[in-house]
């Protein structure tokens, strides 16, 4: 699941346990990770090294995470920041940073979501060409202009919502998406239903996409989320 081996990431997190598992997972995902346990170390590292992206926890022992980000911005830092927060409510200052192009994630989070948000931040910050009008994953093709999906040339009868869901899975083909990511991106709400609402949507979509005799594309990873296989 390697993304881009050259991406340099600065992880600012004081909890050793979290720092350790994040470092391992991020390195596995292809990032080159430098870690700092407090604001001061983070400042030095940020000034010395050229980072593509930062992960900053708000509760640092020596200073507030937001003050650190603002200070780094003053020092000329351009890289986007993913803010980790243990607070439930989002601070106005976090909201300000969010508008400035940064993102936040509340603890505890699913690793898949953290990785997805990092990818989004990097995508947002790198100038990309025109938006593709077609998506293709193996023999599944999506025409984004006509809102049509075909599997092995066969037109799939999808509802509007199912098309949006499939498009989201295709854009993240080969990568895990969690239920809360689907709720956020497809339905636009950050909720945690304790019922199987998302599973039923996926189940129905799978019934249409993975027909009889075809190789199943949509896979469920229990406890984690779903993945649309790309190989």
Given the complex with other proteins, which of 50 and 160 has the nearer CB atom? 160
Instruction: Select from 201, 209, 217, 226 the one that contacts other proteins (CB under 8 A).
Output: 201
Considering only residues 73-112, where is the footprint of other proteins by CB under 8 A?
86-90, 95, 106-111
Task: Output the CA torsion 19→24→26→30 (10° steps).
Answer: 150
Return d(Cα 23, Cα 33) in angstroms, integer.
Answer: 6
Give, in order, the Cα–Cα distances in Å from 1 to each of 44, 177, 195, 196: 31, 13, 30, 28
Q: Is the Cα torsion angle 215, 171, 77, 36 positive or negative in sign?
A: negative
Provide, rounded to whole angstroms, the least separation between the CB of residue 28 and other proteins: 8
Return d(Cα 54, Cα 69) in angstroms, integer.
Answer: 9
Site for other proteins contains 188 (CB under 8 A): yes
Provide, rounded to whole angstroms, the least separation between the CB of residue 159 and other proteins: 6
Give the ranges where the chain is alpha helix by DSSP (H).
Answer: 16-28, 39-48, 65-74, 92-99, 111-125, 160-171, 179-186, 197-209
Considering only residues 3-62, where is the footprint of other proteins by CB under 8 A?
15, 17-18, 21-22, 24-25, 59
Instruction: Select from 100, 191, 211, 219 the one that contacts other proteins (CB under 8 A).
Output: 191
Give the chain's largest Cα–Cα span.
60
Smallest CA-to-CA distance from 198 within 187, 207, 209 is with: 187
Given the complex with other proteins, which of 73 and 204 has the nearer CB atom? 204
Given the complex with other proteins, which of 19 and 81 has the nearer CB atom? 19
Provide, rounded to whole angstroms, the least separation between the CB of residue 87 and other proteins: 6
Site for other proteins contains 192 (CB under 8 A): yes
Provide, rounded to whole angstroms, the least separation between the CB of residue 105 and other proteins: 10
Provide, rounded to whole angstroms, the least separation between the CB of residue 100 and other proteins: 17
Provide, rounded to whole angstroms, the least separation between the CB of residue 199 and other proteins: 8
Provide, rounded to whole angstroms, the least separation between the CB of residue 127 and other proteins: 31
Q: What is the DSSP string of 125-192?
A: HS---SPPSEEEETTEEEETTTTEEEETTEEP---HHHHHHHHHHHHTTTSEE-HHHHHHHHS-----
Site for other proteins contains 159 (CB under 8 A): yes
In the complex, the residues that contact other proteins under the rule CB under 8 A are 15, 17-18, 21-22, 24-25, 59, 86-90, 95, 106-111, 159, 161, 183, 187-197, 200-201, 204, 222-224
């Amino acid at each position: 699941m390697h993304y881009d081996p050259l991406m340099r990431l600065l992880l600012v997190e004081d909890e050793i346990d979290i720092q350790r598992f994040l470092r391992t997972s991020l390195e596995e995902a292809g990032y080159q990770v430098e870690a700092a346990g407090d604001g001061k170390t983070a400042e030095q590292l940020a000034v010395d090294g050229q980072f593509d992206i930062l992960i900053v926890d708000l509760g640092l022992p020596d200073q507030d995470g937001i003050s650190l980000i603002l200070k780094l911005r003053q020092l000329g830092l351009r890289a986007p920041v993913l803010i980790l927060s243990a607070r439930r409510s989002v601070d106005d200052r976090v909201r300000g940073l969010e508008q400035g192009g940064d993102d936040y994630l509340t603890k505890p989070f699913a690793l898949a979501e953290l990785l997805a948000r990092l990818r989004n931040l990097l995508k947002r910050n790198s100038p990309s060409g025109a938006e593709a009008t077609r998506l293709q994953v193996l023999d599944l093709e999506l025409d984004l202009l006509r809102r049509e999906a075909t599997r092995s040339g066969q037109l799939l009868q999808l509802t509007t919502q199912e098309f949006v869901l499939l498009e989201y899975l295709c854009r993240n083909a080969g990568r895990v998406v969690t239920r809360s990511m689907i709720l956020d991106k497809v339905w636009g709400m950050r909720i945690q239903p304790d019922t199987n609402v998302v599973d039923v949507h996926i189940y129905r979509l799978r019934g249409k996409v993975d027909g009889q005799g075809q190789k199943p594309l949509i896979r469920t990873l229990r406890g984690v989320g779903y993945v649309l296989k790309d190989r």
